[in-house]
Amino acid sequence: MQANVQGPHLIQLAPLFAAVATAIGATASTSILSGDDYGRVNLLFSLLLFALLPALSFLTTLVLLLLGRSSGVASLLIKLRIIPMRFYPTLTSTLEQKRQRASLFYLSQLIILAFAVGTLLGFILLLLTSDVSFVWRSTLLDAAALLPSLELLSTPWSFWQEALPSLSMLSETQDFRLADTPEQGAYLGHWWRFLLAAQLSYSLIPRVLLLCFARQRLRQLSASEANAKQSLNLDPAVTASMHQADQFADSVTNIAPGAILIDWAHTPTTLLDSIGRRLSVSATYPRPSTPTLALFRDSLDGKNQPIVFLVRSWEPPLGELADFIADEADVYLAPIDWLDNELTPPRKTHVLEWRRFCATKKHCLPLSLVEASE
């Protein structure tokens, strides 16, 4: 099956994505630490990159894991069309969808970890090649007000005394634009230990743990998939069903008037109205939110009308759409692409994925609104 061939290709691109993320991280780090004409670096901006953003990102990842949504950054890259569609594993069974999410989660953790390594490399490079002086400025905060937040932030490395903040450090390194440059050189350079500990605690170590977890889960699902296929291959009926996934449903260019149009692609209003008039649909509905999908599907069951789904051609047919489509309904899937409220030819490789998806569903046909391009 092509899905099984494409899956590893995306993982094989991991070194490329990691290299790009590392370069971006190093660039961001050196930009933040380059400082002003006097070599002074804003401590609070450095904390934003090295501690606060990684901590928020890590917490977000944990919440999404608990909610069962773990595609991560890699899924976002696909939706933004940064990753070529041919590298995205088009998987339709429950087991394959789990492996798909596990692959994307693993790739996401690798990208974020590579970015963190890049920021650390840029940080160390600047410390080795320049005299970095960390100062901080604030109109609303003074040293006494800022200290509790920094002490809370430094809780993970409380055993490293040299990397802990103090009131004297904050007082001596507070910078005023109209005042003389702080004279406590030891304090100006002391903050590098604090920032290094912040990177290790909130960026590198958590992401290494998540990457190990993602890799282990991917290995387990790959092993489960291999065992499942080995057992399924013993059943000729199941084998024939699996081979059906390599078939392509025939596309149609016209449908009878009176169909129901569901905008699964979040199409611009002007273009959506134009497509509705072209197909002579009886009603047009926006894509329902995830909590209301079941209720919306039940409301359509009694209408006995063909349903046309407008879908983004470059996005893969995921499980949410597969679960929504009822096998007994006449369904048309119209993969579209657009520019400035005008339909543009979708790529042929994208259309083939939707044709393959329709081949696994009863009474499902691809609807071609614009001829695909190479």
Say if residue 28 is in the same domain as residue 60: yes
Give CA 279 to chain center in angstroms.
34
Q: 373 lies in a domain?
A: no
Q: 232 lies in a domain?
A: no
Between 85 and 10, whose confidence is greater?
10
Confidence (pLDDT) at 95? 40
Residues 6+ apart with CB under 8 A from 307: 259, 260, 261, 262, 300, 329, 330, 331, 332
Q: 238 lies in a domain?
A: no
Say if residue 256 is in the same domain as residue 145: no
DSSP structure class, residue 367? B
Task: Give the C-alpha separation, 302 to 218, whole Å.
Answer: 42
Nearest to 338 by CA among 330, 326, 346: 346
Say if residue 77 is in the same domain as residue 204: yes
Residue 317: which pLDDT band, with cuts at 50, 70 and 90? confident
Instruction: Tell me the pLDDT tens digit for each residue of 131-173.
Output: 778 888 888 888 898 999 999 999 999 999 888 988 988 888 8
| CATH number for position 315 | 3.40.50
Say if residue 255 is in the same domain as residue 223: no
Alpha helices in the chain (DSSP H): 2-12, 14-33, 43-47, 53-66, 73-79, 94-129, 143-153, 167-173, 185-199, 205-232, 236-243, 269-279, 293-300, 319-324, 348-359
Say if residue 119 is in the same domain as residue 17: yes
- What is the rounded end-to-end Cα distance, in angstroms, of the chain? 22
Q: Give residue 321's domain range.
A: 248-366
Total number of domains constituting the chain: 2
Instruction: Tell me the pLDDT tens digit for each residue of 243-273.
Output: 444 578 888 888 888 888 989 888 999 999 9
Strand partners, 339: 342
